[in-house]
Structure 1
Amino acid sequence: MDSIFHEKQEGSLCAQHCLNSLLQGPYFTAVDLSILAEKLDEEERVRMAESGEDSEEYRNFLKQPSGNMDDSGYFSIQVISKALQVWGLEIVPYTADDARVKNRDPGEMQAFICNYQNHWFTIRKIGNQWFNLNSLLAKPVLISDTYLALFLAQLKNEGYSNFVVFGELPQCSADEVIRSNPVLPALNSQPSEEDPELQAALKLSLSQEPQEVVPNAEDEELQKALLLSLSCENDEESNLKKALILSMSNV
């Protein structure tokens, strides 16, 4: 676990932490992201000026604060995307009608970026295992292959937007370390709805007490995720997933 790069939350710099956790290194600073945000702001200003610098629409645009960053350290999805382009990476909404995403097992992906309101965090495969690298957590949290689909479905129901990362991630030493010495669930608690650390992180990122969400039986995507998470697993994992489903369906 020590080999995994994990930035803990500082101020509202979750976008920086999210990117660096994804890339597994201190590749971006708040200053770097601010420069990208300013470039995006200027591009937007130029586009708006095309309608006429004397137009009311353009004058109103100039009065508005930047939509790409604020003083707290928040950065927009456009800044995230621009930063990833530097590394030849692309993010696609997990619900997109894209052949690379549609009807595919999430375990086949390499990483996800998740967002709710002003909070960003990364879920990434390192070695052959998945980890929640949320900067609000004290340490990376192991996610089993069978739990991954259920966790993403849980995030979606709590209001998160999930994005899939495509492209070749930079090499990191943690890949080889984790591949050679897998993290054992017994040594790193499996994330679940009862995991207090995970729930504390989710509450903080939601910026409010989360409301209990009851899965709709007609929600096809959630049902597929639940079925996928219950397939091909041992009895212990099966019992865990059944308990999670029961806890999600209690009113």
Structure 2
Amino acid sequence: MESIFHEKQEGSLCAQHCLNNLLQGEYFSPVELSSIAHQLDEEERMRMAEGGVQTEEYRTFLQQPSGNMDDSGFFSIQVISNALGVWGLEIILFNSREYQQLRIDPIHEKAFICNYKEHWFTVRKLGQQWFNLNSLLTGPELISDTYLALFLAQLQQEGYSIFVIRGNLPDCEADQILRIMRVEQQQRPKLIGEDEAQRMSVQPVSDTPVPGDEAPLDEDEEELRKALALSRQHMEVEDEEADLRRAIQLSMQGSSDPTSPNAVVTAGSSHESGSSEETLTAEELRRRRQAYFDRQQQAHDSSTAGEVKDSGTKPNQ
């Protein structure tokens, strides 16, 4: 995966990392994104001025901070949309009624950008394979075609906003290479700093500070890591789990508030002559998914044990 461009997190510049990982190159810098944000601010100011520069609304507007950027490095969806417009790309809200009516299988798209609590990251297809290019990860994460729908559905349940990228992405080396070959990933990438955090967690408790100790995570960082934990799970979904796949598809298409943890989806077998449906909550969907993964793991363990028995050798200790 050395050919895949993966910009890792620096400060709060996740919007820059999201764009560059999507375009597969160092196409945008904080200065360029700030310029776009200032241009949007000026356009908003001019629209407000049309109602009169002496009005209370205009004076209040001037006193408010920019909604397109802040000092931490955050940039709004408007800035990202305008930056992509330079490349002839547009974004469409994945869960919008207009898009869902198209009933397009996610694997037929080219890329998605996702947002949760002001953190942006890219999921992109390179060659014939999908990759999670989250800047908080130590490297690209391979996502199987079957797992992609589940991944996006789970992101929505966790409260993410997801946008579909439409248009022709610029050519890149990784896309060219992965068109003629496929890669396998033996170990999922971890969150940046996770190894250090795990090492610190097993050290004995001491009243004396240890040089190099990391500061504890604040609440937002902890919640973000929990929400992103799913991107490290080693999961594969098989086509035989038809009811689960239908539930996932419907969870992305249908409830009035799909980001609510209590959103209800409907799954079941349908035919031209009729249908049999059952109602599933988001929690039940997660339980079904986990139960399926547990069965897959048990089957894998049984298969491995059988192979060891047949060979007459003992497994390594």
**TM-score bucket of the superposed structures, by smaller chain:** 0.7 to 0.9
User: Which deviations, in whole Å up to 9, do the C-alpha atoms of 1:171-210 show, x marking residues without a partner?
Assistant: 001112122231114x344xxxxx8649x7xx84844755
Cα distance in structure 2, aligned partners of 1:89 and 1:130? 19
Q: Which of 222, 226, 245 in structure 1 is aligned with 2:251?
A: 222
Aligned to 2:289: 245
Cα distance in structure 2, aligned partners of 1:100 and 1:53? 42
1:178-193 matches, cutoff 5 A: 178-185=178-185, 187-189=186-188
Cα distance in structure 1, aligned partners of 2:50 and 2:252? 47
SS in 1 for 2:170: coil
Aligned to 1:176: 176
Query: Retained in 2: the 8 A contact 1:96–1:102?
Result: no
Q: Which runs of 5+ in 1 are unaligned?
A: 190-194, 229-240
Aligned to 2:114: 114
Q: Which has the higher contact order (CA 8 A, sep 6+)?
A: 1
Query: TM-score if structure 2 supplies the norm length?
Result: 0.63
Residues 1:84 and 1:247: Cα distance change in structure 2 (over 3 Å): farther
Aligned to 1:27: 27
How high is the sequence identity, in percent, across the aligned residues? 56
Q: Which one has the largest radius of gyration?
A: 2
Query: Retained in 2: the 8 A contact 1:110–1:125?
Result: yes
Query: Retained in 2: the 8 A contact 1:16–1:29?
Result: yes
Q: Which runs of 5+ in 2 are unaligned?
A: 195-219, 230-243, 255-264, 268-284, 293-317
User: Which deviations, in whole Å up to 9, do the C-alpha atoms of 1:58-115 show, x marking residues without a partner?
Assistant: 1000000000000000000000000000000000000123358731100000000000
Cα distance in structure 1, aligned partners of 2:222 and 2:104? 27
Query: Retained in 1: the 8 A contact 2:115–2:162?
Result: yes
Aligned residue pairs total: 225
Residues 1:219 and 1:130: Cα distance change in structure 2 (over 3 Å): closer
Residues 1:4 and 1:147: Cα distance change in structure 2 (over 3 Å): same
Moved more, 147-156 or 89-98: 89-98
SS in 1 for 2:16: helix
Query: TM-score if structure 1 supplies the norm length?
Result: 0.79
SS in 1 for 2:163: strand
Aligned to 2:103: 103
1:119-158 matches, cutoff 5 A: 119-158=119-158
